[in-house]
Structure 1
Amino acid sequence: MLTNKTLISEIKNIISHSREKAVRSVDNQRTLMYWHIGQRIFEEEQHGEDRAEYGTYLIKSLSEELQPEFGSGFSYRQLNWYRQFYKTFPIVSALRTQLNWTQYKLLTSIDDEHKREYYIAESVKNNWSARQLERQINSSLYERLLISNDKESVLAIAKGDVLPIEPLQIIKDPMILEFLGLKRESAYYEKDFEQAIITHLQDFLLELGNGFSFVARQKRIHLDGDDFFVDLVFYNRLMQCFVLFEIKTKKLNHEDLGQLQMYVNYFDRKEKLEHENKTIGILLCADKNNSLVKFTLPENNKSVLASKYELYLPTESQLLEALKMELDEFQTNENKE
């Protein structure tokens, strides 16, 4: 027999679940309404002799008729959004019920089809809220992944068509940590930086991406009387491996890389199970020298990576310029060899 407490809990869950379904249903119907309005506006535009001029006149006239009766959702600006929504997503059956109108507005503003498909796939797979989607777009997540991957691979992993097999397929460089609320011009102790990540762990997991879960902080390693502590330990279920983070609030050096390599070796020999893949170590640093990383670590290294962090959201042009500089530097080093 159910206890009163259990019965109340189950009924509360039923109510919450039903309310959530009702909200999603209403929002889905609203999205479909906007799509159909956009379709009719677009079709009507095609009948005008001067399409651009007629389109402006048409939307303005509609707004003047609809807004007094139905409110600000039918302003000139909003009706333009509905028209653009239809143009961007012309097949109604292709609309995802998991996405709401706010998310579709964000996606409609993306011109690149590959980029738009990527954010749709990630939003659906990870159940991103509109705020989370906006943050990922503003942090140029797609562009950051392109530094080490091609468009087809990035999209295939997002859709779940293939699983990542190398760290560079899911690890971003740089990592954007604006959510920590730290000022980039200030100096921080590594323990303070680590505490900020723990405080904002959900946002940090969002930045890390698919498949990550938190395991431990300051994981103790005891070696013949000496103690060492790994800053942060995560596990990635897609790659089936531990991911270790060491935080350096200064420019990294070869000693930092050697220390992290030791931690990775320890986890591979003492912590990972037989069916799991090799441990990945990431140095999250304020600055890095790519050549130093390359020549400190063994050739064909895929276990230890360095990722620079940024404490503010860059503009897309700033990020693309930074990526271009990194690619040029990499190409120069390759040519020298």
Structure 2
Amino acid sequence: MIVNQSLVTDIKTIISEAKNKAIRLVDYERTLMYWHIGRRIFEEEQQGKDRADYGDYLIKFIAQQLEPEYGSGFSKRQVELFRQFYRTFPIANALRSQLGWTHYKMLLRLDTDDKREFYIAEAIKNNWTTRQLERQIHSSLWERLLISNDKEDVLAVARNEKQPSDAKEIIKDPMYLEFLGLHREASYYEKDLEQAIITHLHDFLLELGNGFAFLARQKRLHIEGDEFFIDLVFYNRLLQCFVIIEIKTHKLTHQDVGQLQMYVNYYDRYEKREFENPTIGILLCAEKNNAVVKISLPEDNKTIIASEYKLYLPSEQQLIAEMRKEIEKRGTDEKS
């Protein structure tokens, strides 16, 4: 008797999906439980608000009563988080079932509602694990996008209320490639960096942003008997265009800009179809001079983007300095 081989595979898929659904449901119920505990604590605290130390006393008392019976998940620090959880997210119906308690604990660390809203929308849209959410927060994704975009546009794209119309709404500068595991003090050939990116392609796609799909590596072009090789080729379904990436492990030069412009022109003339948007070129470089990039390109350029890569995540001080520098540059551009 012959049995369809796909039968067992289908059954395993059903079991796996059911298990994952059950895990998500349990995690969501646990999150709701913590929210209700936080609300009850907050209500009790308000009754004794005339006593300045009542809140701290209450948290400590509850932890002493619960931790011996329910374990470290109800320590003083955890009980404090329950109260903070309710105060930060006071509407139970607004809690998202796609996010677990660990997601929400990370979101509680953020200092503004806009930032939390952005990461919630991105985490749900991209199905981020807690590790991926943590990495994006630590890499300051929100702040990096704000450097070159309006806050309302960034939020609208995250919430799917607006499709990105400009590559800069998605592509970040700088890009953080700490997941490659390369040391900043070492020098690398471009092929080494390219190979590291291919090895960690999933993480690189996450850093690139929404809607990217990998198409080719070392794409060969034949132009009147001459051969050229494009480092990496992607497609972005949101922008509906090809995205070419050239890697430069040195300080960017105007010759690099010209080379990438040629590749972009080739794709626009021979690869792009009528319904697709113009090809975007990204120069991923170790260092750049913005003035050189600006003067090497047309004033209305929207297709060539130079983005520095960093092999380590930024410190808070570095990020603040970068944002201040960008604000000052905008002020100078507006005056000129």
- What is the TM-score when the length of structure 2 is the normalising length? 0.97
2:243 alignment partner, SS class: strand
- Aligned sequence identity (%): 65
- Counterpart residue identity of residue 154, structure 1: V
1:192 matched residue in structure 2:
192
Partner Cα separation in structure 1 for residue 283 and residue 227 of structure 2: 20
Q: Is the 8 A contact 1:143 1:320 kept in 2?
A: no
Tell me, what secondary structure is at the counterpart of 2:269?
helix
Query: How far did 1:47 drift?
Result: 0.9
Q: Distance in 2 between matches of 1:52 and 1:177?
A: 47
Query: Which residue of structure 2 lines up, in the alignment, with residue 155 of structure 1?
Result: 155
Q: In the superposition, relative to structure 1, how do residues 107 and 159 fare at CA in structure 2: closer, same or farther (>3 Å)?
A: same
Q: Deviations over 1:37-90 (max 9, x none)?
A: 000011100011445410111111111111010111100000000000000000
What's the secondary structure of 1:147's corresponding residue? Answer: helix
Aligned to 1:324: 324
Aligned in 2, Cα 1:322/1:238: closer, same or farther, shift over 3 Å? same
Unaligned 5+ residue runs, structure 1?
Answer: none
Deviations 1:209-251 (A, max 9, x none): 1100101000101111110000000100000000100000110
- The yes-or-no answer on 1:129 pairing with 2:129 is yes
Does the 8 A contact of 1:251 with 1:286 survive in 2? yes
The aligned residue for residue 277 of structure 2 is 277
Alpha-carbon distance between aligned partners in 2 of 1:265 and 1:2, rounded to the nearest angstrom:
56
Report if aligned partners of 1:219, 1:231 keep a CA contact under 8 Å in 2: yes
Q: Contact 1:45–1:51 at 8 Å: present in 2 too? A: no
- Cα separation, partners in 2 of 1:249 and 1:64, compared to 1, 3 Å: same
Query: Contact 1:164–1:238 (CA<8 Å) still a contact in 2?
Result: yes
Greater shift in the superposed pair: 71-80 or 318-327: 318-327
How far apart are 1:276 and its partner, in Å?
0.1
Distance across 2 between alignment mates of 1:262 and 1:2: 58
Name the counterpart of 1:299: 299
Q: Which runs of 4+ in 1 moved over 6 A?
A: none
Matched, 1:31 2:31: yes
Residue 217 of structure 2 is matched in structure 1 by 217
Deviation at 1:109, TM superposition (A): 1.2
Give a deviation string over 1:20-48, Cα, whole Å, max 9, x none. Answer: 01101110110000000000011100011
Tell me the alpha carbon deviations over residues 149-192 of structure 1, each in whole angstroms, 9 at most, x when there is no partner: 11110000000000000111111001111101111111000000
Secondary structure in 1 matching 2:298: coil
2:68 counterpart residue number: 68
Q: Secondary structure at the match of 1:46?
A: helix
Matching residue's letter, 2:8: I
SS at match of 1:154: helix
Amino acid corresponding to residue 155 of structure 2 in structure 1: L
Per-residue deviation at 1:320? 2.2
| Counterpart Cα distance in 1 of 2:326 and 2:150 | 16
Number of corresponding residues: 336
Structure 2 unaligned blocks of 5 or more: none
Tell me whether 106-115 or 88-97 shows the greater mean CA deviation.
106-115
SS at match of 1:281: strand
1:299 Cα offset (Å): 1.4
Cα shift readout 1:89-137 (whole Å, capped 9, x = no counterpart): 0000000000000000011111211111000000111100000000000
Using a 3 Å threshold, how does the CA distance of structure 1 residues 274 and 7 change in structure 2: closer, same or farther?
Answer: same
What is the CA–CA distance in structure 2 between the aligned matches of 1:155 and 1:320, rounded to whole Å?
21
Distance 1:261 1:51, change over 3 A: farther
SS in structure 1 at match of 2:263:
helix
The letter of the residue matching 2:54 is Y
